[in-house]
């Protein structure tokens, strides 16, 4: 029974990968790519992601989000 279950799940995940690939080709015009990096490169990437954001960028984003949206104005005023 375990072999049949394993066989079914392996087919299911292959089907899901195939569907994802087809969607990428349809919407992006290309197959998804897999990128492999070394442990050092991965650690450097995680370090960059975990860095605190630049205060100037934070302030500009805050100002942008505080502005009133154009579609919130009545009659475009």
pLDDT of residue 60: 93
Average pLDDT for 33-54: 89
Nearest to 40 by CA among 48, 32, 52: 48
Range of the domain at 48: 2-67
Please give the share of the chain, as a percent, with pLDDT higher than 70: 79
CA 52: distance to chain centroid?
20
Q: Give 74's DSSP letter.
A: G
Nearest to 32 by CA among 17, 42, 45, 16: 17
**How many domains does the chain contain in total?**
1
- Looking at the predicted structure, is the pLDDT value of residue 73 above 80? no
pLDDT of residue 18: 77
What does the alpha-carbon distance between residue 50 and residue 48 come to, in Å, rounded to a whole number?
A: 5
Q: Is residue 20 in a domain? A: yes
Q: Is residue 76 in a domain? A: no
């Amino acid at each position: 029974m375990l072999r049949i279950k394993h066989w079914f799940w392996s087919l299911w995940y292959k089907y899901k990968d195939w569907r994802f690939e087809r969607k990428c080709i349809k919407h992006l015009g290309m197959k998804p790519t897999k990128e492999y990096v070394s442990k050092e490169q991965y650690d450097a990437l995680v370090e960059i992601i975990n860095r605190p954001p630049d205060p100037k960028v934070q302030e500009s984003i805050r100002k942008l989000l505080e502005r009133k949206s154009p579609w919130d104005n009545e009659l475009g005023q």
